[in-house]
Amino acid sequence: MSEGTETATPETEPINPEATADTKEEKPKIKQTVEIKDIGPCKKHIKVLIDRTAINDNFEKKYKELVGDSWIPGFRPGKAPKTIVMRKFKKDVHDQVRGEILLSSLEQLAEEFDVAPLSPPDLNPTKLVIPDNADFIYEFDVEVRPHFDLPTYKGLKLKKPTRAFTDVDVDEEQNRLLSRDGQMVPKDGPADKGDFVIVDMVTMFGNEKIGEAKESTLRVDDTLTFKDGVAPKFAEQVVGAKAGDKRTIEIALTDAVSGTRLKGQTVQAILDIKDVKKLRLPDLDEQFLERFQCKTVDQFRETIRVVLDRRLEYNQRQSAREQVLGLITASATWELPQDMLQRQARKTLARRVMEMREAGIGEDEIKSRERILQRDVLSTTAQALKEHFALQKIAEEEKINLEQYEIDEEINRIADQYNESPRRIRAQFEREELLETLAAQLIERKALNLILESAEYEEVAMGKESGMASSDTQAVPGEMSDPTAAPPEPKPGDEAAP
């Protein structure tokens, strides 16, 4: 569809009188005029005028049926005058005709015009009135997918991060798994990575004190995420600290922070180190091994290698995805509406969490990564939506479809991963309205696979991943906002405000 305004009156196609049971009879089209205007980023205003002839034909058909079937007191069945039938059933017939005409009109509109709605149109059928003797006009606003041209996406040259995992890597992953059941004990010495510090924390924004937390337990790792912020250099700023020391860390606040003026701001937190503790790991005994369906330590370590390989594959796909979509969306300068970004933010984060769980990433690390995504959630969502639109368009170009069995298989795979029944996983997805998100993810995965299969790769060494830890401490006290919450519904009269 071109930019600006489009007006068209599609021709009515006659029914083929020779249509047989073996030939699908085409539905007669409504004579209607459609006017489409751009009213903002990814938004169109559509005005439809339906010719009076189609409306009269529908009314005539309905009243003819009623005259033959109705029972009116004082008249034999089917013998009441048409004028009386019309007067008695006018409202019911009006509602039926309106519904049928509107449905046919919208179906025809979808077939004849390149309008790809992202959400149901802003249209309330019960408020529409068909005039007695004039054409029927209805209009509505709708969000649509942006129009853009796809660049070449086959035969791309990509870099592929690779890494050979050593026994040291397996040891670290083993300790991470054991630490879930670890016990904190006092440590005689300075804090190191993997240790815990118990701190009193004061958060400052310039010279202003904006937060305070007592007796917070923080794990020392490369990155530490708070409920409302991210400390990207936590280990660098805290390693070596002892009880009685003070350390200052930087926290980049997310959009969830209490107070709109602090969103996206970087603040300083002064940590008063009260104690340093280390983690005493449990024994790698038979009971622990059974949780991973292993009988020996060697089997357990082999399982760890499989997990590390799966995470490497996830990182490789993420790297390839970023490179591919960076190339494809480089010219995607189109703007996305703010309210659309807010509505889609929750689904975008849910999709990223699904991908991380699929890669075998632990829930603690997922929580940390999710908070990092929330640091600038609308910008993250804008990029994710552009990627989504690009992959969906590629799927259409390549005629990539999704079958029901593929969704069932994915639900079964997730159920196996979490040792749950497929029925419970499906119920959870339905309850959280994530089935549509899952289907979109699978379509995008198939489109991305098609691109990656034709790509040429140059292997590059991948460095060690940074560690992440999370804390339920808030850098800034107060009620946090939900950065993925949909925008509030407009109140009556808001549209008239200056």
CA dist., res. 174 & res. 246, Å (int): 32
| Tokens, residue 213 | 């937390």
- The residue type found at 89 is F
| Tokens, residue 408 | 């069932």
CA dist., res. 61 & res. 66, Å (int): 9
pLDDT of residue 496: 37
The residue length of the chain stands at 498
> What would the pLDDT profile of 240-250 be if each residue is shown by its tens digit?
999 999 999 99
Facing residues of 457 across strands? 158
Provide the pairing of β-strand 246-253 with 223-226. unpaired
Decide if pLDDT at 17 tops 60. no
Of 309 and 63, which is predicted with more confidence?
309
| Highest mean pLDDT of the ranges 128-137, 240-249, 254-263, 303-312 | 240-249
Q: With bands split at pLDDT 50, 70 and 90, how would you rate the model's confidence at 494?
A: very low
Q: Is the sign of the CA dihedral 469, 470, 476, 480 positive or negative?
A: positive
> Residue with structure tokens 């189609």?
54
| Tokens, residue 105 | 């009109």
Q: Which residues contact 296 (CB under 8 A, 6 or more apart)?
A: 289
Q: Which of 30-39, 156-165, 337-346 has the lowest mean pLDDT?
A: 337-346
Q: With bands split at pLDDT 50, 70 and 90, how would you rate the model's confidence at 10?
A: very low
Cβ burial, residue 468 (10 Å; 0-12/13-18/19+): buried
> What would the pLDDT profile of 108-119 be if each residue is shown by its tens digit?
888 888 777 877
pLDDT of residue 112: 87
pLDDT of residue 273: 97
Q: Do 320 and 158 contact (CB within 8 A), yes or no?
A: yes
Q: What is the mean pLDDT of residues 131-140?
A: 90
Contacts of 211-217 with CB under 8 Å at 24 or more apart are 211/269, 211/474, 211/475, 211/476, 211/477, 212/477, 213/473, 213/474, 213/477, 215/274, 216/471, 216/473, 217/184, 217/277, 217/471
Burial 120-156 (b: 16+ CB within 10 A, else e): ebeeeeeebebeeeebbebebebbbbbebeeeebeeb
pLDDT of residue 159: 93
- The residue type found at 180 is R
Q: Is the sign of the CA dihedral 105, 108, 112, 115 positive or negative?
A: positive
Q: Which residues contact 264 (CB under 8 A, 6 or more apart)?
A: 252, 253, 254, 255, 375, 376
Decide if pLDDT at 18 tops 60. no
Q: How many CA atoms lie within 13 A of 347 on its CB side?
A: 19
3-state DSSP call for residue 23?
coil
Decide if pLDDT at 366 tops 90. no
Q: Do 50 and 101 contact (CB within 8 A), yes or no?
A: yes
Decide if pLDDT at 137 tops 70. yes
Alpha-helical runs (H) found in 363-434: 363-374, 377-397, 404-417, 422-431
Q: With bands split at pLDDT 50, 70 and 90, how would you rate the model's confidence at 492?
A: very low
Q: Which runs of E-coded beta strand occur in 163-207?
A: 183-186, 196-205
Q: Model's pTM, two decimal places?
A: 0.59
pLDDT of residue 26: 61
| Highest mean pLDDT of the ranges 254-263, 336-345, 378-387, 404-413 | 404-413
pLDDT of residue 77: 58
Q: What is the mean pLDDT of residues 309-313?
A: 89
3-state DSSP call for residue 111?
helix
Kindly list the distances between the CA atom of residue 368 and the CA atoms of 231, 292, 356, 441, in Å, as whole numbers in the listed order: 11, 24, 12, 22
Kindly report the CA angle at 110 between 109 and 116, in degrees rounded to 5? Answer: 130
CA dist., res. 491 & res. 495, Å (int): 8
CA dist., res. 82 & res. 67, Å (int): 6
| DSSP assignments along 401-416, one per residue | ---HHHHHHHHHHHHH
| Tokens, residue 232 | 């990207």
State the average pLDDT for the chain.
82
According to DSSP, residue 31 is labeled -
pLDDT of residue 350: 76
Q: Do 75 and 56 contact (CB within 8 A), yes or no?
A: no
| Tokens, residue 295 | 């009988």
Provide the pairing of β-strand 456-461 with 157-162. parallel
According to DSSP, residue 48 is labeled E
> Residue with structure tokens 């660049």?
151
> Domains along the chain?
5-11+29-143 (3.30.70.1050), 157-163+294-462 (1.10.3120), 183-280+467-483 (3.10.50.40)
> What would the pLDDT profile of 317-331 be if each residue is shown by its tens digit?
889 888 888 887 776
pLDDT of residue 326: 83
Kindly report the CA angle at 205 between 204 and 211, in degrees rounded to 5? Answer: 45
> What would the pLDDT profile of 429-466 be if each residue is shown by its tens digit?
888 878 888 898 899 889 989 998 999 999 999 888 78
pLDDT of residue 3: 42
Q: With bands split at pLDDT 50, 70 and 90, how would you rate the model's confidence at 67?
A: low
pLDDT of residue 331: 67
Q: What percent of the chain has pLDDT over 70?
A: 84
Q: What is the mean pLDDT of residues 272-291?
A: 92
Determine which helix (DSSP H) or strand (DSSP E) holds 6, and give its type and residue range.
Answer: strand 5-8
Q: Which of 98-102, 214-218, 369-373, 478-482 has the lowest mean pLDDT?
A: 369-373
Cβ burial, residue 221 (10 Å; 0-12/13-18/19+): buried
| Tokens, residue 18 | 């020779």
Decide if pLDDT at 86 tops 80. no
